[in-house]
Amino acid sequence: MSNLRILLLLLVFPFVASAQMAHFDSLLIHISQYTPSFWQNGQNAAALAWWLQPQFGRTQLAYNQTGGTFRRPQEPKTRQYFSLHTEGLRQIGTWTYFGRFDHQKSQDRSLAYSHVNDPFDGNPFIWADTLAGDWQRDHIGAQIAVGSPVWAGRWRTGLGINYHVGQGARTRDPKPFYRLRNLELRPALHFQANTRTHWGLVGHIGLKQEENEVGYYSDEFPLLYRLRGYGTFSRTPTVTAERQMVGNVYKLLLQYQYFTVNNTQWLVQMGGGFRQEKIREGIATPTNGGDFGESIGELFLSWNKPAQRQNWTAVLHLLNQNGSGRDPILMANSVSYNWLTASGKYGFWQNKTGLFRHLFLKSKLQILQQSDQISRTDWNISNLTLTVDSYERRPIRKVWLWYGIETGYRARLARAFAANRPTPLTATLVRPDYEFISANGLIINVSTGVDWQFGRFPNLWNRINITAQTQRNSTLGNRQSVQINYSILY
Amino acid sequence: MKKILFSSFVMLVLGLCMSSCNKDVVPTVLVNVKVLFPNNYSQPNAVGVKVTLTNKADGAAQTATTDANGTAAFTDVLPGTYDLAASKSLTAMEAQSLTGFAQALELNASRNGVVIMETPSPLALELRLAGSALGNLVIKEVYYTGSRTAAGGTYFSDQFVEIYNNSTDTIFVDGLCIADVYGPSGQINTATRPTEFQADMANTYLSSVWRIPGKGKERPLLPGQSIIIAQDGVNHKDPTLNPNSPVDLSKADWETFNERPDNRDADAPAVPNLERLYFTGGFDWLLPVFGPGVVIFRTPDFDKLEKTAIPGSTLAPRIKLPNAQIIDAFEAVQNGNSSNFKRVPTALDAGFFFADNTYNMQSARRKVAATIGSRRVLQDTNNSTNDFQKIDAPTPKGF
C-alpha cells in the first residue's frame, strides 16, 4: 500500500490491530511519559522510531464538568464538554506513523467579555460586550506525523501536520460567532552522531485564521466593545460587524540527547520563535483592528538516571514569552507583556512486579508583567507553586487499580498594580483578572481508575478513570473540575 | 555539555531583553477650551463654567472649570474624537448684571464629534453659550418605549407625553403646540445617518405638529398641575388590547387622532382630540420607540412657518421652527453612544436621555428639584441627561 493510504488507514480506522504486535500491557503507554524524548517533548517526527513506546492505539470518550467562582473574568461560570480522542502509533516496514484525532463539543455558561475562541493567548485585541451569555462550541483536531527510515546510516527525516478547526456561537443576542482554522507543519531531522549522542532539529510553521461575526441574527443592538489592551477599549453601537484575525507562527527547536555509560540520559532542548497576528474589521473596506506580535524563548533540560530500585529524574523547563500590540487608533505600540515561567520536577518512579509508583516534587515559578500605555496600567506578579505528586498502580485479581494525588500550594511572592488613567473596564475586567492571577491557592488533584483486559483479547484493555481537581482561595472561592473517561487501549 | 547550557542561557537572556524594545510613547495633547457668553451679554468671557470633554470611543470624561479668562485647560488628552459640553446656571441677579433682565437663565453649549489629533498641542477650542428662560411649562414625562404583549409581540399605542406647569402662576394652554423632531434616534441599521439639519443651531425641524384647541383662556393649568397627551386615550390594559401595558389612558386630557379614510386610527370618544396641524407619520402619531425628540411651543401663525425639504430625500418637507418659539424640549436617543444623532439644538437641550431597550416599558420622567408647600418644582437645566430619570414603568399624573 502507498504511504498515503497507510496514513489514512491510521487516522480513520485506529482499531486495526497489527498481527505482529506483541502482548500489550496498558502500563506501557503510561511509562513512556517518564522518559523525555525528542518526539514527546519536541514533537520531532523524525525521532518517532526512537520513542520508547510500543505500538499502541487508544480511543477515549470523556465528559468534563468545571465550575466555581475562583476564575478569571473572561472564563465561563461553568463549562461542560464531551470529547472523543483517538491516537495510535504504528511501525510499518521501516516507516513510523503517529496519528491523533480529537472532537470536542462544549457548552459554556455565563461567559462575558469575550467573543473570541481564546481570550488568554496574549493577543489583547478582542471583541466583547458586557452581556454574559451561554456559548456552544464545536472543535476538531487532527495530527499526523511520519518518521522516515534511516538514511546515510545516521539520518532520519520526518514531518508532522496538525490541523485544528472549530466554531462557537453565543445563544444570547446579538449572537457573536467565531470560526477558526489552524494549520501547523513541523518538518524535522534526527541525527545519530554515535551510539550515545543524538541531535534533533524541528521547525514549526503555523498558519492561524479566526473570523468573528456579530449581529446578523439579532434584533437587538447593544454596544460592541473592542478591547485594545488592559483597560483600553472603544465601543460603538453596531448592527452587524465582522472581523478577521490572520496569524503566522515560526519556531525552531534544537535538541540534544546524550546517554552515559551507565545509561543516564541527558536531554537538552532550546528554541525560539515568533508569532504575528493582524486583525482586520469589515469586508468591503477592511480597517485596521490591531497588530500583535509575540517572541518566545524556551529551554528544556532533563536528567534521567535508571537505577536498580528506582529511576530518578529531574526536569527544568524555562519559557519566556514577550508580546506587544500596536494600537489601531493611536498607531503606537501601547500594550506589552512579559511572562517568564520556570518549571521544575524532581523525583523517582519504579516498576516492580505487582507495583508501579511515582513520587515527584514539582515547582513552578512565574514572573509576569503587563503594561498598557493608554490606560497607564502596569502590573507585576511573582508566584511560586509547589506540589507533591504521588501515584500507585497495583493489580487486584484480574484488574489493575491505580490512584494518585497531587497537592500543593500557589503562593504569591510579590505583586504591584497601578492604573493611572483607569477606564470602566479597569474595575470590571483588569483588576479582577490581576487579583485572580496573583491569588494564593490550595491545589488538590486526585485521580483513580481501573484497567482490565477484554476476556479473550489480551491486547485489548478497558480503562475507566475519574479525575477531580480543585483550586481554593479563601477570598475568591473555589474552582473544581471533574472528568470521567472511558478508554480502550490496544 | 557545559557549553550547550551556557549558550542556552545566553539565548534566554537575549529573549528577556527584547521585552523592553517594543514600546512607543503614546502622545497626549493639551486642549484649551474658551467659553463665551452670548453675543449681547455685557461681558464676553464666561468664568466658573464647568466644561466636560468626553471621549466618544470609551465614554471617559474629563472636567475642568473656566478661569478668569473664560478658559478651561485639559492636560493629557489622548488623540481621538470627543464631545464637548458646557453649562452655566445664572441666578436672577447674575442675569440682571449680564443681560439687564432679572430672570434666572440656564445656558448651555456643546460640540459633538470634535477631532483632537496629535498636533497641534496646545489645541484651542471655543464654545459659545446659549439658553432660555426657566419657570414655565415643561415636559414632565415621555413614555415612548412601548410594551410587550403576552405573546411577546410589540405594542406601542400606549405612548404619552405629560406637560407640567412648573411656574408659580396659572398658564392657559390654549394654542399650545406639541411636535416630534425629525431625525433618526441612532444607528438603527447600517444605512442610518443623523438628521440632515444638525448644523442649523437656530431652528428645529418638526415632523408632525398638534395643537390644543381654544380661544386663549379656555384651558387653565394651575401651578403644579399637568396634562396628559396620549397617542390613544383608552385603557390599554384592556384584555382586547394589551393586558401587559402599564397604563390606562382613558382619562387622558387629550389624544392625537389621525382621521383617515380607512379609519386605521381609533378615536376614543371620551378623550378630546388635538388639532392636527401637520402630519408626516403613519396611521397614528407614533413617537420613535428608539427615542424621540419632542418640543412644546407657541407660534403666532403656524401657516407662516417655512416648510423645508429634506436634502436628498423624497419624504414630505419638515416644519422649520425658530428656537425662540420653543418653550421646552426633550431629547432621547437610542443609547449612550448615540450623541451624534442628536436632533434638538444644544441651546434647547444640551443632553439626551436613553432607555435600556425598546418595548421594555421604561419611561423618562423629570426629576424633582424642590418641593415648595405641596407644589413640586421640577428640575430644568435644559439638559435631558441631567433633568430626567429612567423609571421602570410610566407614571401618568403620578404627582
Q: Where are the domains of chain A?
A: 3-489
Task: Give per-residue pLDDT as tens, A321-353.
Answer: 999 999 999 989 999 999 999 999 999 999 887
- DSSP letters, B134-177, are -SSEEEEEEE-S-EE-TTS-EE-TT-EEEEEE-SSS-EE-TT-E
User: Among B14, B10, B15, B24, which Cα is nearest to A321's?
Assistant: B15
- DSSP letters, B301-322, are -GGGSEEEPPTT--SPPEEEEE
* Residue from B6, B24, B117 whose CB has the most chain A CBs within 10 Å, to mutate: B24
Helix, strand, or coil (residue B248): strand
- Is residue B79 within 8 A of residue B27, CB to CB? The reply is yes
Residue B290 binned pLDDT confidence (cut-offs 50, 70, 90): very high
Do you know the residue count of chain A?
490
Please provide residue B20's backbone torsions phi and psi, each rounded to the nearest 5 degrees. -100, 10
Task: Give per-residue pLDDT as tens, A410-445.
Answer: 999 999 999 999 998 999 999 999 999 999 999 999
For the domain spanning A3-489, the CATH number is 2.40.170
- Using a CB-CB cut-off of 8 Å, the residues of chain A touching B188 are 221, 239
- Among chain A, residues having any CB pair with chain B shorter than 8 Å are 220-223, 232-240, 256, 258, 266, 268, 270, 272, 293, 295-297, 299, 301, 318, 320, 322, 324, 327, 329-330, 332-334, 336, 338, 340, 369, 373-374, 421, 423-424
Whether the ipTM is more than 0.90: the answer is no
* Partners of B319 in the β-ladder: B206, B307
Which contiguous run of DSSP H or E holds residue B74?
strand B71-77
User: Of A293-307, B55-69, B89-103, B114-128, which gets the smallest average pLDDT?
Assistant: B89-103
User: Of A48-62, A154-168, B136-150, which gets the smallest average pLDDT?
Assistant: A48-62
User: Among A119, A328, A321, A322, which Cα is nearest to A232's?
Assistant: A328
CB contact under 8 A, B58 and A233: yes
Residue A62 binned pLDDT confidence (cut-offs 50, 70, 90): very high
How far is residue A253's CA from residue A202's CA, in Å, rounded to a whole number?
A: 5
Of B18, B80, B357, the CB nearest to A322: B18
Structure confidence at residue A223 (pLDDT): 82
User: Among A198, A90, A89, which Cα is nearest to A150's?
Assistant: A198
Say whether pLDDT at A309 is over 80: no
Domains in chain B, CATH or no CATH each = 29-133 (2.60.40.10), 137-391 (no CATH)
Say whether pLDDT at A203 is over 50: yes
The Cα diameter of chain B in Å comes to 106
Q: Which residues contact B3 (CB under 8 A, 6 or more apart)?
A: none
CA A176 to chain B, closest CA, distance in angstroms equals: 17
- DSSP letters, B281-299, are SSSS----TT--EEEEE--
Residue A25 binned pLDDT confidence (cut-offs 50, 70, 90): low
How far is residue A388's CA from residue A411's CA, in Å, rounded to a whole number?
A: 15
User: Model pTM?
Assistant: 0.77
Q: Please give the grid coordinates belonging to residue B393.
A: 414603568
| Percent of chain B clearing pLDDT 70 (strictly above) | 93
CB contact under 8 A, B335 and A223: yes
How far is residue A247's CA from residue A465's CA, in Å, rounded to a whole number?
A: 38
Say whether pLDDT at A1 is over 50: no
Q: Which residue has the higher pLDDT, B98 or B397?
A: B397
CB contact under 8 A, A334 and B58: no
**Please, is B69 exposed, middle or buried when counting C-beta atoms within 10 Å of its C-beta (0-12, 13-18, 19+)?**
exposed
Say whether pLDDT at B13 is over 60: no
Residue A72 binned pLDDT confidence (cut-offs 50, 70, 90): very high
Position of cell 541527558? A266
Position of cell 511572562? A339
If you average pLDDT over residues A14-20, what whole number do you get?
Answer: 36
- Is residue A268 within 8 A of residue A199, CB to CB? The reply is no
Residue A26 binned pLDDT confidence (cut-offs 50, 70, 90): low
* Residue from B18, B74, B119, B339 whose CB has the most chain A CBs within 10 Å, to mutate: B18
**Please, is B106 exposed, middle or buried when counting C-beta atoms within 10 Å of its C-beta (0-12, 13-18, 19+)?**
buried
